[in-house]
Amino acid sequence: MKRAVWLVLAGIASVQLGATVAKDLFTQVEPTALVWLRLTASAVLLLLIARPRLRGRSRQDWLVVAGFASTLALMNWAFYQSFARLPLGVAVTIELIGPLAVALAGSRRPRDLIWVALAALGVVALGWERADLDPLGVAFALVAGGCWAAYILLSAQTGRRWPGLEGLSVASTGAALLLAPFALASDLAGILKPEVLALGALIGLLSSVIPYSLELVALRTLPAALFGILMSVEPAVAALAALLVLGESLTGLQWLAIACVVAASAGATRYADSTRDRDTELLEHP
């Protein structure tokens, strides 16, 4: 359990660092084109690493990975559209509604709801002082949040049906193919810039290959509800990365909100581990 938690946290740090690099490039290339570069770079790397076996797959295997590919495409596209219009920390905060919904739906104990409520309080407080939010940016963030919820469930199913990184490589390839016509139509000239191509490959590594691979492995043993609560650290990491790389500052209330979501994540993780340990002791010493 602890190893899976650390894998998820490392993935969060990687994806938010990649997001700050991407946002810094929006003056040179359209978000749709950039997210396609990210997905294409990650798909190529994953195919080389995983070398997926396509023969002998069941119809259900293909349906799951197709759903995963569609979710990856829409989630990434909507997220890039959102933080092109909103501060990165705010966009991630709104997007967090999806994982929180998964956590709430999977809760079975009253204490789980306490951690979800604390994380939700932080989400609300983080965006409380932002009265000038772009409505379209908020809408895109909500769409990304819904896709994030679906991603949690589909990633777990893909990991169970496709060994290693095979399912992720196939899904990433499908997502890149789905976005290709829109990306090429939006900014072909921007895509062909050497600097954009190089940084697009770096973003693909940071924002897709590393985090999705770590999460896919973690979700084989980590409950979907706990994964959703762990995602509550995303606003904190996003805000810190945006502050260090982009100079996007936060108010005192927003930092307090970050403390709420971090505390919720830490509490949920600690309680889940202690529950697992106690159950193990009962089995070993009836």
Cα 161 from Cα 123, distance rounded (Å): 34
Assigned token pair, 150: 């679906």
Residue numbers in the chain where pLDDT is lower than 50: 273, 275-286
Q: What is the pLDDT of residues 235-286, one digit of tens each?
A: 888 888 888 888 887 778 777 877 787 777 767 666 554 544 433 332 233 3
DSSP state at residue 163: -
Which pLDDT does position 106 carry in this prediction? Answer: 61
Which pLDDT does position 180 carry in this prediction? Answer: 94
Range of the domain at 162: 2-284
Domain count, the chain: 1
Residue 128 has a CB neighbour count (10 Å cut-off) of 12
Q: Is the pTM of this model over 0.85?
A: no
Which pLDDT does position 280 carry in this prediction? Answer: 35
Which pLDDT does position 225 carry in this prediction? Answer: 64
Which pLDDT does position 158 carry in this prediction? Answer: 87
Cα 151 from Cα 138, distance rounded (Å): 20
Question: What is the Cβ-side half-sphere exposure of residue 223, based on CA atoms within 13 angstroms?
Answer: 17
User: Phi and psi (nearest 5°) for 250?
Assistant: -125, 160
Question: What is the Cβ-side half-sphere exposure of residue 50, based on CA atoms within 13 angstroms?
Answer: 24
Which pLDDT does position 266 carry in this prediction? Answer: 67
Which pLDDT does position 144 carry in this prediction? Answer: 94
Angle at alpha carbon of residue 144, lines to 216 and 171, rounded to 5°: 40
Assigned token pair, 241: 């990365």
Cα 158 from Cα 139, distance rounded (Å): 28
In 3D space, the residue among 238, 267, 247, 278 whose CA is nearest the CA of residue 19 turns out to be: 238
Which pLDDT does position 221 carry in this prediction? Answer: 81
Residue 90 region, left (φ>0) first, then alpha (ψ -120 to 50), else beta? Answer: alpha
Which pLDDT does position 271 carry in this prediction? Answer: 59
In 3D space, the residue among 18, 15, 62 whose CA is nearest the CA of residue 200 turns out to be: 18
